[in-house]
């Protein structure tokens, strides 16, 4: 969405964003349920079968241990009750505020509530076939370089770039960097005490110098992250012209966060991953955790949105279009942010969180983050098989 930002933060801008979210995600769900608008359901007689698609306004437990979900569409709101004996508790546990879901069931005798029999997320089709390159070619997936930090792992980076010049790495023609190229300034309390480079522009100059060690014929694609010098609210546009001129090494392609890029026909959804904090905080530990970030990524694929919950940890900028909706199912979903390494296949989509290039900082110690540093997942674009190479020692 670089160059397309129009939102001013007015109330109507937010309404437009959420209407767009509803329309696009409800289109995915309409093929699965015979839905009716909230106002039409409200007018139906008691005992009728009904289905509704809506954004989640509220989810709460009742005194009897059931769950009450308030859904909103463009016509109004309607309550849906999930009984504890319906076997849907596992799905209710996965619901986040503001995401789009569908429910089917039967109206109460007084028509005032819908008793839910089934619940659906937009999700990724189970039987989709991924796109593959028609030749053997590889991409290195990395994130969170954090140049400028005292803990930037220069030795590991040098081992990585040295390896890229070896015959073994000859098939690696692409380098994808999922945000946080630099450490930034003022991102967290007392960050200045952990900086090797205190000027943000000097940080980008240093990053650009390190990028020169990558083979010159490597195609580089970068998106910003929350430590980078762009707006924090998502979607984040690519860097401004001044920073682009600093990072013009190898004619690197700088796109927005999130963005979908095509490599040899393989669609890679790149997203820095700030919303992973939200998913991990809201869902039960067995469904999402920092030790297994790929689980949280699979939930985002299931919701077909990279940052469904509004008003929490993830700042959202209102735009005419909700650029955070996952319209086209990617072949690969690449994130960073949480500084942990993890990957898994979900409905033939490879979800990869690629770790970082920063050793544990004092701040990370204070919040109990033990990073996976100095790793580079290497993806075969012709098979979507992946190997992880480690360039840190110890």
Q: Supply the pLDDT for residue 175.
A: 98
Does residue 13 lie in a domain region?
Answer: no
User: 382 and 346, same structural domain?
Assistant: yes
Q: What is the pLDDT of residues 313-326, one digit of tens each?
A: 889 999 989 999 99
Does residue 18 lie in a domain region?
Answer: no
Mean pLDDT of 247-256: 93
DSSP sequence for 82-106? E-TTSS-HHHHTT--TT-EEEEEEE
User: 202 and 115, same structural domain?
Assistant: no
Does residue 221 lie in a domain region?
Answer: yes
For residues 333 and 302, is the Cβ–Cβ distance under 8 A? no
Q: Angle, nearest 10°, between helix axes 293-303 and 275-282?
A: 100
Whether residue 394 has pLDDT greater than 70: no
Q: Supply the pLDDT for residue 309.
A: 94
Give the residue numbers spanning the domain of 366: 138-390
User: 192 and 110, same structural domain?
Assistant: no
Mean pLDDT of 94-123: 95
Q: Supply the pLDDT for residue 286.
A: 95
User: 196 and 157, same structural domain?
Assistant: yes
CA angle centred on 114, ends 109 and 115, rounded to 5° = 90
Q: Angle, nearest 10°, between helix axes 154-164 and 200-211?
A: 30
Per-residue buried b or exposed e for 359-380, using 16+ beta carbons within 10 Å of the residue's own CB: bebebbeeeeeebbbbbbbbbb
Residue 44: which residues within 8 A CB-CB, separation 6 or more? 36, 50, 107, 111
User: 170 and 303, same structural domain?
Assistant: yes
User: 67 and 187, same structural domain?
Assistant: no
CA pair distance 156, 154, nearest whole angstrom: 5
User: 229 and 92, same structural domain?
Assistant: no
Q: What is the pLDDT of residues 170-218, one digit of tens each?
A: 999 999 999 999 999 988 888 888 999 999 999 999 999 999 999 999 9
Residue 15: which residues within 8 A CB-CB, separation 6 or more? none
User: 297 and 179, same structural domain?
Assistant: yes
User: 227 and 331, same structural domain?
Assistant: yes
Does residue 96 lie in a domain region?
Answer: yes
Does residue 289 lie in a domain region?
Answer: yes
Does residue 5 lie in a domain region?
Answer: no
User: 150 and 99, same structural domain?
Assistant: no
CA pair distance 305, 300, nearest whole angstrom: 6
The tally of domains found in the chain comes to 2
Q: Supply the pLDDT for residue 200.
A: 96
List the CATH number of the domain containing 196: 3.60.21.50
Does residue 336 lie in a domain region?
Answer: yes
Does residue 8 lie in a domain region?
Answer: no
Sort strands 259-263 and 67-72 into parallel, antiparallel or unpaired.
Answer: unpaired
Task: Give the CA distances from residue 91 to residues 67, 224, 241, 309, in Å, rounded to whole numbers and listed in that order.
Answer: 11, 33, 45, 17
Task: Give the CA distances from residue 213 to residues 164, 165, 250, in Å, rounded to whole numbers and listed in that order.
Answer: 9, 9, 10
User: 142 and 110, same structural domain?
Assistant: no
Confidence of residue 365 (pLDDT cuts 50, 70, 90): confident
Block residue for tokens 């504890």 = 84
What does the mean pLDDT of the chain come to?
95
User: 178 and 58, same structural domain?
Assistant: no
131: helix, strand or coil: coil
């Amino acid at each position: 969405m670089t160059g397309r930002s129009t939102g001013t933060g007015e109330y109507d801008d937010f309404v437009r964003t959420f209407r767009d979210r509803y329309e696009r995600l409800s289109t995915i769900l309409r093929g699965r349920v015979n839905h009716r608008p909230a106002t039409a359901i409200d007018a139906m007689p008691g005992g009728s079968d009904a289905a509704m698609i809506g954004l989640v306004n509220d989810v709460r437990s009742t005194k009897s241990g059931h769950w009450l979900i308030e859904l909103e569409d463009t016509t109004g709101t309607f309550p849906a009750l999930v009984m504890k004996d319906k076997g849907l508790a596992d799905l209710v546990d996965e619901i986040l505020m503001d995401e789009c879901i569908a429910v089917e069931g039967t109206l109460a005798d007084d028509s005032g509530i819908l008793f839910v029999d089934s619940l659906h997320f937009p999700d990724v089709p189970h039987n989709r076939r991924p796109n593959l390159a028609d030749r053997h070619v590889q991409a290195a997936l990395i994130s969170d370089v954090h140049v400028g930090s005292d803990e930037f792992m220069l030795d590991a980076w040098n081992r990585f770039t040295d390896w890229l010049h070896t015959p073994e790495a000859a098939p690696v023609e692409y380098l994808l960097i999922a945000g946080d190229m630099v450490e930034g300034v003022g991102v967290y309390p007392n960050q200045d005490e952990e900086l090797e480079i205190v000027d943000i522009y000097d940080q980008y100059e240093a990053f650009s110098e390190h990028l020169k060690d990558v083979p010159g014929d490597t195609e580089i694609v970068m998106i910003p992250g929350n430590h980078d010098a762009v707006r924090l609210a998502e979607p984040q546009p690519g860097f401004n012209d001044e920073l682009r001129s600093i990072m013009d090494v190898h004619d690197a392609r700088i796109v927005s966060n999130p963005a979908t890029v095509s490599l040899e026909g393989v669609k890679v959804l790149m997203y820095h991953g700030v919303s992973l904090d939200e998913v991990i905080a809201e869902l039960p530990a067995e469904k999402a955790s920092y030790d297994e970030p790929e689980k949280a990524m699979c939930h985002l694929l299931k919701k077909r949105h990279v940052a469904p919950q509004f008003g929490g940890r993830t700042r959202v900028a209102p735009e005419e279009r909700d650029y955070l909706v996952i319209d086209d199912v990617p072949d690969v979903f690449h994130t960073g942010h949480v500084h942990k390494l993890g990957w898994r296949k979900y409905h033939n989509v490879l979800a990869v969180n690629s770790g970082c290039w920063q050793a544990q900082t004092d701040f990370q110690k204070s919040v109990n983050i033990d990073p996976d540093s100095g790793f580079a997942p290497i993806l075969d674009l012709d098979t979507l098989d992946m190997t992880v190479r480690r360039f840190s020692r110890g």
